[in-house]
Structure 1
């Protein structure tokens, strides 16, 4: 509560882990080491006919040394538990106090509207290739390279090996009109043909990925117009080990085998 989400979990599952599996935001800056106190929750006791369960405080594991140490050093209000240390032992209705939600996470799903100079590494180049001529002893690939060089100024073109066996059939399927996908970025010494399509293909998309400490955002963008076609975001799964990078580094140092301490 108050999200109303519910689920089934094995006995011994930390309340914090159960909340995260349900997609319920419970803040935990320290990564589950019971030092920040941000993950406080409380148990709503009673018979909940709607959920067909009886919730009680003793359906959580007894207060352990981590919670006692935190209560001694800081203030842990009566009836509150640290969800990173409290383990599920039975049916429960858990309340996430709103005074503990200081930095509720927002997953960005829309790209900021601002002007960005379009300079993609992949360019879609439409060309019309000369048909075979007995008086010009050039192969299909050579004539394709010549057309690209003449129309788009891409000289000394490299070709991906997987394309070479298919150049002849693609040219004929497109009736000698094809669209070449040319890759060249600032670090490339030579342009490279990475794909070839029969006829005119005026679609090309790329993904912009923002991997942050708390969220991961992906934007599908048109390489031709620069328009953002779709966006999506999700929580960074590493957040379970701490909301800041130093907490995650500390977790790795304390758990070199990669397993999370449950005590």
Structure 2
């Protein structure tokens, strides 16, 4: 049996061995997930939202402690969450890209108001 992860919003899909951390799969697939600690569950930057119906290995106590209840809303740490089957992951935009997109949207809105 193999695992498969689809990363959203890009739609990039990759086949992986069960037990592969989401962060490792993302790196192999060329999907950027921010991290500062190198995958040691210390920085909390690799937090991703797991779509309902995804098949991950059970959450470990350390990750659960770090998430402090966010796992109940579907969040997991990409460095700790391990694939068991088919997984769908929503990857947040990195902060700089998100800020640029917000600024561009605001400028487009202002331009539309002028016309």
- Alignment match, 1:67: 63
Report whether the alignment pairs 1:37 with 2:44. yes
- Runs of 4+ in structure 1 displaced over 3 angstroms? none
| Structure 1 position 94, deviation (Å) | 1.1
| 2:95 is aligned with 1:102 | yes
Q: What is the distance in 1 between the residues matched to 2:76 and 2:10? A: 19
Within 1, Cα distance between the matches of 2:40 and 2:70?
Answer: 15
1:76 aligns with 2:63: no
1:27 and 1:103 in contact (8 A); partners too: no
Q: CA deviation at 1:19?
A: 0.4
Instruction: Return the alpha-carbon distance in structure 1 between the equivalents of residues 58 and 18 of structure 2.
Output: 14
* Alpha-carbon distance change, 23 to 76 in structure 1, aligned in 2, over 3 angstroms: same
Where structure 2 has 5 or more consecutive residues not aligned to the other structure, the ranges are 1-7, 98-115
CA deviation map 1:48-70 (0-9, x unaligned): xxxxxxxx24x111111221221
- Shift in Å at residue 102 of structure 1? 2.1
The question of whether the paired residues in 2 share the 8 Å contact of 1:66 and 1:85 is answered with no
Q: Which has the higher contact order (CA 8 A, sep 6+)?
A: 2
Of structures 1 and 2, the larger Rg is shown by 1
Q: Scaled by the length of structure 1, what TM-score is found?
A: 0.32
Hey, what's the Cα distance between the residues in 2 that align with 1:70 and 1:8? 28
Flag structure 1 segments of 5+ consecutive residues without an equivalent.
46-55, 105-263
Q: How many residue pairs were aligned?
A: 89
Following superposition, the deviation at residue 7 of structure 1 comes to 1.3
Q: Residue 11 of structure 1 contacts residue 88 of structure 1 at CA under 8 Å; is this kept in 2?
A: yes
Matched, 1:27 2:44: no
Residue by residue, what CA displacement relative to the aligned partner does 1:178-216 show, whole Å, maximum 9, x if unpaired? xxxxxxxxxxxxxxxxxxxxxxxxxxxxxxxxxxxxxxx
